[in-house]
Amino acid sequence: MRKVKVGYQLDFRNPPGSALSFRDLYRESLAQVQAAEQLGFDSIWLTEHHFTDDGYLPALMPAAAAVAARTTRVTIGTFVLLAPFYHPLKLAEDAAFVDVVSGGRLRLGIGLGYRAEEFEGFGVPRAQRLGRTLETIEILKLAWTGERFSFDGRYFKFRDVRVLPRPVSEPHPELLWGAGAAKAIRRAAQLDLSFACVGGRREIGIYLEALKAACKDPARYSIVNSRVVYIADSEQQAWRDTRDALMYQAELYGRWLSAAAGTTDQSKVLIRPDPDRLRRTSVLGTASEVSAKLEEIVASTPMTELIVVMQLPGLDPAKARRSLDRFGAEVLPRLK
Report whether 21 contacts 59 (CB < 8 A): no
**pLDDT above 80 for 98:** yes
Q: What is the pTM of this model?
A: 0.96
pLDDT in tens, 231-241: 999 999 999 99
What band does 272 get if pLDDT is binned at 50, 70 and 90?
confident
Distance (Å, whole) CA 139 – CA 324: 38
**Domain-embedded: residue 180:** yes
pLDDT recorded at residue 269: 67
Beta bridge partners of 319: none
Distance (Å, whole) CA 195 – CA 109: 8
**Domain-embedded: residue 271:** no
pLDDT in tens, 192-242: 999 999 889 999 999 999 999 999 999 999 999 999 999 999 999 999 999
Full residue range of the structural domain in which residue 98 is found? 5-237+284-335
Query: How many domains does the structure of the chain reveal?
Result: 1
- CATH number at 326 reads 3.20.20.30
**pLDDT above 90 for 268:** no
Report whether 176 contacts 108 (CB < 8 A): yes
Q: Kindly state the average pLDDT of the residues 85-96.
A: 98
**Domain-embedded: residue 114:** yes
**Domain-embedded: residue 142:** yes
Task: Using alpha carbons, select from 177, 275, 292, 178 the residue that is nearest to residue 229.
Answer: 292
C-alpha distances in Å from residue 132, one per residue of 57, 90, 124, 153, 303? 22, 14, 10, 9, 28
**Domain-embedded: residue 265:** no
pLDDT in tens, 123-142: 999 999 999 999 999 999 99
Q: If you count DSSP H runs as helices and E runs as strands, how many of each does the chain have, helices first?
A: 12, 11
* Average pLDDT score over the chain: 96
CA angle 204, 179, 269 (to 5 degrees): 95
C-alpha distances in Å from residue 303, one per residue of 46, 72, 118, 127, 270? 19, 25, 30, 31, 19
pLDDT recorded at residue 78: 98
**Domain-embedded: residue 55:** yes
**Domain-embedded: residue 81:** yes
**Domain-embedded: residue 151:** yes
